Structure 1
Amino acid sequence: MTTTSDAPGTGTTSPPAAWLPLAACGITLVMWASAFVVIRHVAHDVSPGALGAGRLLVAALVVLPLVLRKGWVRPTSREWWLLAVGGVGWFGIYNLALNAGERHVDAGTAAMIIQIGPVIVALLAVPLFGERMHAWLLGGMLVGFAGVAVIARGSTTDADASLVGVALVLVAAAMYAVGVLTQKVLLRRIPSVQVVFVSFLMGAATCLPFASDLPAIVGDGGAELWWIVYLGVLPTAVAFTTWAYALTHTDAGKLSLTTFLVPGIATVIAWLLIDEVPPSLTFLGGALAIVGVLMTRRRPRAAA
């Protein structure tokens, strides 16, 4: 969700027990992975808009007390524009595309495709932030997108998956990249909890026009509603908190690498709970996507 934290410096405070940040990281990864499985489970019973709008509204309610406690920083007009881009893109279009995509591809496949997001971040950072295009970045992009192509090829051999689903999840990955880049600017001055709160609301507003079935779902109070509540509370609001805690007490670079475990965890959960496993070729594509991301994080050696 986000890789930043508002926690204050530790100062003279004793560091937490070594297992606590590790536990927080593990809880976060499991909750994020479970989101792919839950979305897949209810995808054909709840519209993409209702699933996204309900999830984001619940998450906004959960983090509201944290926003009130932290205090409000008034955004500038430029920051409001960035909040709108990030909120509509990352939280709005992302949820619509992912929810629709998981009607066609399984949870593990979707989680693997989303891993291409950091490659798109690195690509967009070149024109937007003046970061240099180098051989590792170019090679990583080629390998990463080759991985997505392999995933797409593997999905077309499965009766319950399609190229449309792969394309939709790839759109979600691109929107993730947009959100990361807008946050990179916003978090220089605005608390991260405020950024995600506003983004939740803007994302929900984006999803609501496509959520005509949401009032009926709320009125019925059935299982679909409680799955939406689960998505809003645990993989969205609580996972943000546990990830921020882990980030406060762990090296950011090392912690970010743990997100590569999400597709594997999602695949295991999907296998155990909904008896679903991605096509075999998808695993090769997922591995290529991860290698591509790792390549983009390499930096060329400085000239002697």
Structure 2
Amino acid sequence: MSRAKVVLATGFVILCWAYSPVGIHIALQAYAPDNLALLRFVIASIFMAGVAGFKGVSRPRVRDFPMFTVLGLFAVTLHHIALNYGQRGVSAGAASVLAQSTPLFSALLASTVFRERISTWQWGCVLGGLLGAGVVAVGDRGFGELDGHGLLILLAAASWSLYFALQKRYAQRYDGLTMVCFTLWSGTALLLVYLPGLPEELAQAPVSVNLAVLVLGIFPSALAYLAWAYVLTHSTVSRAAISLYLIPPVAMVLAWVLLAQRPSVMVIVGTVIVLASVGALTVKVR
């Protein structure tokens, strides 16, 4: 029964995170990228406050609040601002592929920032993955319409990799729920600078768009993290990580069904290159 629960939880995570670029695409029809990020995480913060009140979380030490602010900056504020602006010019399926390049940037950070030794094989995986990302960007927009939106999504992936690198260094101080809650709340607090423009857009947005934002705030931004924590507790990290490679294909299917965004052949080829490079890098590192 426990194995069945892990499988169901993993499927739930994949579906939630595959929906995220689709939901963002829908929400951008009525919201500016920065206001969308704020509204999404206000919803997520309120939801996680309820979870924290029910489950209980540790109270961080005062000296650790700057650390949570930095984690919130990279995991929530910078990541989602860049992602939302990037998706204004990139399809939902392609955005999911580019966002999945986080391990490539983790390897670059390990070498350049944390001074860890990276093998020739790993460098080859990084270069192959970045080549695949370029193929996705070109295949999605075409040479004539290529612009910086894909680079913004790669910036979002780099921001997420920075969050993971820093989070690993402090995770031993607090349990997973405490880390998620205070990281999310800190990132949301930083987004409050966009509050003045939100009420007007909220009032004018169609019900269907607000429903998409509500789903974004509760499922990909909150429940999926709790489900993922359960998966990691009851499964090996390597086995769980492999399942995340299903997110881009599922996102492409959702985008095809819900948004009529059919991926081009080049996007599919680039997706295979990116996921193969990430998979080879992950297996080699571990």
TM-score normalised by L of structure 1: 0.86
Structure 1 range deviating more: 275-284 or 103-112: 275-284
The Cα of 1:108 is off from its aligned counterpart by 0.3
CA contact 1:151–1:281 (8 Å) conserved in 2: yes
Counterpart position of 1:234 = 219
Counterpart position of 1:10 = none
CA contact 1:88–1:203 (8 Å) conserved in 2: yes
Bigger helix share: 2
1:261 equivalent to 2:261? Answer no
Percent identity over the alignment? 26
The number of equivalent residue pairs is 284
The alignment partner of 2:239 has SS state of: helix
Counterpart position of 1:51 = 36
Distance 1:209 1:177 in 2: 24
Structure 1 range deviating more: 28-37 or 219-228: 219-228
Counterpart position of 1:34 = 19
The aligned runs of 1:280-295 (5 Å cut-off) are: 280-295=265-280
The aligned runs of 1:1-304 (5 Å cut-off) are: 16-68=1-53, 69-75=55-61, 77=63, 79-157=64-142, 162-219=146-203, 222-223=206-207, 224-299=209-284
Amino acid in structure 2 at the alignment position of 1:166:
G
Distance 1:173 1:254 in 2: 21
- Cα distance per residue 1:247-286 (max 9 Å; x no partner): 2211111111111111110110111111112332111112
Amino acid in structure 1 at the alignment position of 2:188:
A
Amino acid in structure 2 at the alignment position of 1:244:
A
The alignment partner of 1:45 has SS state of: coil
CA RMSD in angstroms, aligned pairs only: 2.2
Unaligned runs of 5+ in 2: none
- Cα distance per residue 1:156-212 (max 9 Å; x no partner): 3288x6422101111111111111111111211112222222222222233333454
Closer, same or farther in 2 for the Cα pair 1:178/1:245, shift >3 Å? same
Amino acid in structure 1 at the alignment position of 2:198:
L
Distance 1:146 1:71 in 2: 42
